[in-house]
Structure 1
């Protein structure tokens, strides 16, 4: 019953309505998976490609001026990559990249990133974007928090879901129109939003 508590609160204690909302929360989270996948992988690949070109090596993290927290995340990714390969072959740079989290990539666009990352190279990872790093980092960080709720099976029914959906596509468009088209081919969010159970909420 503790799992249902947020849903009971949202439905004024009506158990039947809470169960319906809980089921719908699972469905809408699942519907977001495709677009969020495209955003996470698209961001990762675009940033990695620019940093690889800038530093002239696939394992650019050995040359880049990463903060201690980011360097620890790289070390964690290297350990995970080694465990996953279990000595069957050497760990490649692409293996490490695949283990780095969405949070790691978003952090490369944070307030400390201007001089070492954004100005020299990472602005090129968003060819259709003409704004500031700050105005790009904020929606990316918002989507990181939302993505974590989705992937950790947390309630998202009380989030501005139509806004999160639109933000996903705006960010994808900054990176590559092809990602927009791919995400739309996987997207069930509008359909699921349209049949939310119970009284409507602001989206």
Structure 2
């Protein structure tokens, strides 16, 4: 593995576990057992490391948000799709520990973050509209918009909420709690069989198995 790649991997791990403000370039160099000068040779400042990590995050998230057939998902696949989004966000958890602070410190990241969030909202809207067309979502356009906002809020701010409650967010359990919150929020508007609802609840409780692992 190239030194630049190692720097990004170690930086990501340190940022995720300790928070970006609590990790200096010297901390990163010490963890890598390289000199600060060697680190500076590859990344001339922590800002460039943050920018490179955000580029990686943006590429991974874009692959999911631009995935085909998201407008034809059934309800179970929709929740698995949400899990994929949460998993990418969790992989780059430091961005979500305090997104407002990250955005203020790194304006370039802030602008890109806004574009990612806009893409998320567009994707959520496409899914909800598809459910409405299929008769699976019962509600007018205002209800649809409120659900899109709710999805954006939960999938973006959930780590902060659970962290403020004193919970360890590094293990990722909050992702499944977030899915459960979304499920019960959507339940009054979902025109689905009770068996499907209970199946989803069980899947989430069991840390939501991937479609290929489901029993047919």
Q: Given the two structures, how large is their TM-score scaled by the length of structure 1?
A: 0.29
* Larger relative helix fraction: 2
- Of structures 1 and 2, the one scoring higher in RCO (CA 8 A, sep 6+) is 1
Q: Given the two structures, how large is their TM-score scaled by the length of structure 2?
A: 0.28
